[in-house]
Structure 1
Amino acid sequence: MDSFTDTAVGGLEARAERYSGRVRTFVSETDSGALAVVALSMGSLLLAFAGFLLASSVAAVPFGVFVLSTGYGWVRHQALIARAVTFAMTTVTLVTLGLIIVFIFVESIAAFQYESMTVFGVSVPGAGMFVQTRWDAVSDPVRYSLVPMIHGTAMVTAIATLVAAPLGVAAALFISEIAPPVVREAVKPGIEILAGIPSIVYGFIGFTIINPWAGEEFALNGGSTYLFVGIVVGLMALPTVVSVAEDALTSVPDAMKDGSLALGATEWQSMTSITLPAAFSGVSAAVLLGVGRAIGETMAATVMLAGVQKVPEPITNVFYGYETLTSLIAANYGNASGVQESALFAAGVVLFVTVLCLSVASQYIEARMRRRLGGEQA
């Protein structure tokens, strides 16, 4: 018993010595000279960032000071300067993101004010954008309705989801549960290569091959259809769905699968009854991320669609393709001005809010999966 106590006390003393050594190291690093270097580095970075935002010609001076002071601090006080620089870079990233969001919303105010409507005696800014169905930047008065583009975005996204979700989940299940290691090592990189192909390549293939074929086979003028645009965008979203879903399926504990097999279940029954339900939250998050990719796709939709701001008749007709929110912005930002330019920013606001909601939902679902697999209470 005494030897056990001595061993435990010795272990505690060793840990205390290591901890005190780290404290002494940190204190030695945070002397006045080190703090001065950190203050100079961070202050010059702040001035350089402010000069960049103000488009100042002297912004390079504080940036040069930041580089020199950081280099000196890295040599003399590496641990402290590393903490300070990483914190500063994170802060700059968050501030930049916040400024972009504020800029988009501020630039869209004019369009929301122009398309105000009175509802039950109350003026609602931007209500006309979501009630009317006419986008006309030429006639008098001009109208900027986002309904046709929201409809086109919803159509393309729904078709892309119907393509990417089942194919992506099936591929992820094959890679994680069925394929032998040799096949897995070959298939997974091949699927991820699809994510590296530029979207303009997909759009160009769709414009030169799919659209003419669709126009000939279905007697369509130009061959522009939401159906084939959705298929192309679904193939583009496929690597995202496969990658995230495969990670979710792989994270299911082996003990759950082995227990199912030990009770007499087949491999297919274990996959459908144990693996998929356990990873359902992660698979759902993968599908939502794929949907977010489909909503934000620009070049394929811009190249393959007709670029006409109207709602097809009937609204469920997938064999006509006119415009989406992203293709509207890409096709008109170069020559837009005034309220029309503000209306394009309003379309960006709709896209941003939609993708943000999907991202938050996917993060929530993924966190729920971690809690479930980790045995924590939701």
Structure 2
Amino acid sequence: MIGTQVVAARNALTHRWQRLSSFVGDQEPLAVATVGIMTIALVSALVGFLLVSPFTIIPFGIFLIAASYGWLNYQGLTARMLTLSMTVSTILILLLITLFIFMKSVPVIQYESQSVLGVSVPGLRMFTQVQWDAVSPPIRYSMVPMIHGTVMVTTIATVVAAPLGVSAALFLSEIAPTTVRELVKPGVEILAGIPSIVYGFIGFTILSPWAADQFQITGQGSYLFVGIVVGLMALPTVVSVAEDALNSVPESMKSGSLAMGTTDWQTMTSITLPAAFSGVSAAVLLGVGRAIGETMAATVMLRGVPQLTKPLYNAFYGQATLTSLIANNYGEADGLQMDALFAAGVILFITVIVISIGSQYIEWQMQRKLGGES
């Protein structure tokens, strides 16, 4: 499957490049020269930026001048060049960010190496010990407490956001009158625009004191209520994406089910939800990604102590997550401690990639199933 997708992507890219080359070949020499100057200037500006050169502004200015001239005189060719440049720049920036965070985490990964059967495994000690101590010897940078906290918060947030979000999306798509849908959906989307620090501040000033009083918790900080707050933050994303997926189900499938004598509820559960399962799953996974990467709410509401709760399943106490670890320590960290924060970023990065691949795999499986392929 992966090999077929790679070949298809390569063929598509080759076809588009051939079309662009053919289009360029049909242009006037001055138009081609303008595009060439834009390309050389943009590449030079990128090199200057990577070298932190004070002269970077010169090639970038030349690029802007050439692009302006091309847009006024050869708009079609210039537009193609600009869109291609922006696409390549986006991919390149992503690759550079990935390379940077991985390179910055290498020293601490080497420092936390551990031998297994005489073979040194880089970074293994970060996952086999539970101590984080950047001050007192021996210095240790374990990611286990923060991974535990992230898993706890994400699990609780998913339990909150997934059923509520899918149910709300199903109501808006299949049950709610048009007037109600037009009022509720913009309101849900507005909730997605509220800054996370606002949610965190509400949780810190209202939920945390109430929880400390009701459950007799010493101090503030609870994975349970952080998970609830993060779940509510992820709810608009789940509702919006899932509702779009449910609306994409062909009306003929629903009408055919109703014509067979099924009820509206049976149609929703046996036709609409299975047909839109890939989109709904993607919505839930996007919500999970929001929960994993949430920083401010977790930073504000948790204690920020990099240690495990006792017992591990105790959700009424909360210490730290991977994101809150970075937010709490980046201002004063240096040396190996700073590298350890980048290692936490690498773990988050890999987790998001795995979730993305998982959502793509689910979508592929559902498309194959609905398409009748074996």
Give the TM-score of the pair, scaled to structure 2: 0.92
Q: Secondary structure at the match of 2:90?
A: helix
Partner of 1:91: 88
Is 1:137–1:143's contact at 8 Å kept on the other side of the alignment? yes
Is 2:24–2:32's contact at 8 Å kept on the other side of the alignment? no
Is 1:282–1:369's contact at 8 Å kept on the other side of the alignment? no
In the alignment, does 2:29 pair up with 1:32? yes
1:189 deviation in Å?
Answer: 0.7
Is 2:24–2:77's contact at 8 Å kept on the other side of the alignment? no
1:254 deviation in Å?
Answer: 1.0
Is 1:248–1:279's contact at 8 Å kept on the other side of the alignment? yes
Partner of 1:301: 298
Q: Distance in 1 between matches of 2:258 and 2:58?
A: 67
State percent identity of aligned pairs: 65
State the AA in 1 paired with 2:154: T
- Count of paired positions: 355
Q: Secondary structure at the match of 2:120?
A: strand
Is 2:254–2:271's contact at 8 Å kept on the other side of the alignment? yes
Match of 1:366 among 363, 366, 369: 363
Partner of 2:168: 171
Partner of 2:251: 254
Partner of 1:318: 315
CA radius of gyration, larger in: 1
In the alignment, does 2:219 pair up with 1:222? yes
Q: Distance in 1 between matches of 2:102 and 2:285?
A: 24
Match of 1:327 among 313, 317, 324: 324
Partner of 1:18: none
Which deviates the most, 45-54 or 211-220? Answer: 45-54
1:367 deviation in Å?
Answer: 4.2
Q: Secondary structure at the match of 2:306?
A: coil
Q: Distance in 2 between matches of 1:307 and 1:185?
A: 41
Is 1:213–1:223's contact at 8 Å kept on the other side of the alignment? no
Is 1:282–1:365's contact at 8 Å kept on the other side of the alignment? no
Q: Distance in 1 between matches of 2:351 and 2:81?
A: 35
State the AA in 1 paired with 2:134: A
Q: Distance in 2 between matches of 1:229 and 1:323?
A: 11
State the AA in 2 paired with 1:232: V
1:222 deviation in Å?
Answer: 2.0
Is 2:246–2:276's contact at 8 Å kept on the other side of the alignment? yes
In the alignment, does 2:280 pair up with 1:283? yes
Please list the CA deviations of residues 236-288 of structure 1 after superposition, one character each: whole Å capped at 9, or x if unmatched: 11111111111111111111111111111110111011111111122111111
Is 2:161–2:238's contact at 8 Å kept on the other side of the alignment? yes
1:223 deviation in Å?
Answer: 2.7
1:49 deviation in Å?
Answer: 1.7
Partner of 1:6: none
In the alignment, does 2:360 pair up with 1:377? no
Which deviates the most, 241-250 or 296-305? Answer: 241-250
Unaligned regions of 5+ residues in structure 2, if any?
1-18
1:27 deviation in Å?
Answer: 7.0
Q: Distance in 1 between matches of 2:47 and 2:64?
A: 16
Q: Distance in 2 between matches of 1:272 and 1:266?
A: 10
Please list the CA deviations of residues 190-223 of structure 1 after superposition, one character each: whole Å capped at 9, or x if unmatched: 1111110000111111111111111111111223
State the AA in 1 paired with 2:314: N
Which deviates the most, 174-183 or 281-290? Answer: 281-290
Please list the CA deviations of residues 287-313 of structure 1 after superposition, one character each: whole Å capped at 9, or x if unmatched: 111101100000000000001111111
CA 1:323 to 1:98, structure 2 compared with 1: closer, same or farther past 3 Å?
A: same
Partner of 1:239: 236
State the AA in 2 paired with 1:324: T
Partner of 2:61: 64
Partner of 1:145: 142
Is 2:143–2:344's contact at 8 Å kept on the other side of the alignment? yes
Q: Secondary structure at the match of 1:123?
A: strand
Please list the CA deviations of residues 105-154 of structure 1 after superposition, one character each: whole Å capped at 9, or x if unmatched: 01101111111111111111101000100000111111000000000000
Match of 2:353 among 353, 356, 365: 356
Partner of 2:154: 157
Q: Distance in 1 between matches of 2:373 and 2:79?
A: 37
1:371 deviation in Å?
Answer: 5.1
1:377 deviation in Å?
Answer: 3.4
In the alignment, does 2:180 pair up with 1:183? yes
State the AA in 1 paired with 2:373: Q
In the alignment, does 2:194 pair up with 1:197? yes
1:53 deviation in Å?
Answer: 1.9
Match of 2:110 among 101, 113, 120: 113
Unaligned regions of 5+ residues in structure 1, if any?
1-21
Moved over 2 A (4+): 25-29, 363-373, 375-378
Partner of 1:210: 207
1:31 deviation in Å?
Answer: 2.1
In the alignment, does 2:124 pair up with 1:130? no
Q: Distance in 2 between matches of 1:105 and 1:27?
A: 39
Q: Distance in 2 between matches of 1:128 and 1:109?
A: 14
State the AA in 2 paired with 1:141: P
Is 1:168–1:241's contact at 8 Å kept on the other side of the alignment? yes
Q: Secondary structure at the match of 2:283?
A: helix
Q: Distance in 1 between matches of 2:197 and 2:235?
A: 16
1:364 deviation in Å?
Answer: 2.9
Q: Distance in 1 between matches of 2:33 and 2:373?
A: 47
Please list the CA deviations of residues 16-48 of structure 1 after superposition, one character each: whole Å capped at 9, or x if unmatched: xxxxxx99x957851211110000011111111
